[in-house]
Amino acid sequence: MKCPYCGNAETKVTDKRDDDGVGVTRRRRECLKCEKRFTTYERVENIDIVVVKKDGRREQFDRAKLLTGFQKACEKRPVSMEDVEKKVDEIEADIRKTEGKEISSKDIGELVMKKLKSLDKVAYIRFASVYREFADLESFQKELEKLIKK
């Protein structure tokens, strides 16, 4: 880290504080040449993920949209907001672990269905009925039968 006053590259850290929840580390530094002090902030750079929609459109990954869909599926179900947040965090982590900067909306939907299935079967069926676009009762019934068999 270069000193902003004299440009010297040799500095020492005199104090370090992690800002919990925000993901920022604050460091107080001192230049070994001019002895002036300055503060730097370090944060993780998130890679922007692009979601490829069914029709080929591309848009930025939006955690809020994921959370909203999950909440709608779990509405009026005995599922805590803490559990919903945890599952959404897990899905986002899985998405960020994928190679490349693009992921299909289909892959995200499958991740959501997998997490919902383990959390609440009714929420899973709610989401599946919209996600898989059940056109009739037979397709809905087939999904229910798959769920009952497992």
Is residue 3 a part of any domain in this protein? no
Q: Summarize pLDDT for 70-99 with one digit per residue, the tens.
A: 999 999 999 999 899 889 988 988 888 888
Same domain for 64 and 95? yes
What percent of the chain shows pLDDT beyond 70?
A: 94
What residues make up the domain containing 57?
50-133+145-149
Same domain for 91 and 113? yes
Q: Summarize pLDDT for 18-34 with one digit per residue, the tens.
A: 865 556 788 999 999 99
Same domain for 89 and 123? yes
Same domain for 58 and 93? yes
Average pLDDT over residues 93-121: 90
Number of independent structural domains in the chain: 2
Identify whether the C-beta of residue 127 lies closer than 8 Å to the C-beta of residue 75: no
Measuring CA to CA, how many Å separate 140 from each of 7, 126, 129, 135? 67, 10, 7, 8
Residue 146 scores a pLDDT above 90: no
pTM over 0.75: no
* Distance from C-alpha of 40 to C-alpha of 121, rounded to nearest angstrom: 48
Model pLDDT, residue 93:
83
Is residue 139 a part of any domain in this protein? no
